[in-house]
Amino acid sequence: MLNSSALALSLLVATWATPPKPATNGRCPVLGNPVADRNQAVTVQGRRYYICCDDCAQKLAADPGRYLEPDGTPKNIRQTTSGEKIRDSY
């Protein structure tokens, strides 16, 4: 319970500083499940990400480097043969 409260408080404080960049991911950065704008979102490092569940929100907030590239792109996003990153759309 304490971890959930701390996570919620840190996310709330982060949103007061500057508005986060909008979420554009089509898959959960943690599990890779399809997500859309109807899913809940979590703000990590000044950017919003759609996630599939509360567990993924906690995992992403606790260890963003495991799931996100340095530029904020989810590591599980597909790439074209030319190396260009593309967004999965659902």
Longest dimension (CA), the chain: 45
Q: Is 76 a member of any domain? A: no
pLDDT at 2: 53
Number of domains within the chain? 1
Q: Is the pLDDT of residue 76 over 80?
A: yes
Can you name the residues that pair with 85 across neighbouring β-strands?
79
pLDDT at 7: 59
CA distance 85 to 90: 16
Q: Is 90 a member of any domain? A: no
Domain of residue 58 covers 2-67
Torsions phi, psi for 34 (to 5 deg): -60, 140
Instruction: Report pLDDT digits (tens) over 24-68.
Output: 888 999 999 999 888 999 999 999 999 999 999 999 999 999 999
Q: Does the reported pTM lie above 0.85?
A: no
Q: Is 37 a member of any domain? A: yes
CA distance 84 to 90: 19
Q: Is 82 a member of any domain? A: no
CA distance 56 to 42: 9
Q: Is 20 a member of any domain? A: yes
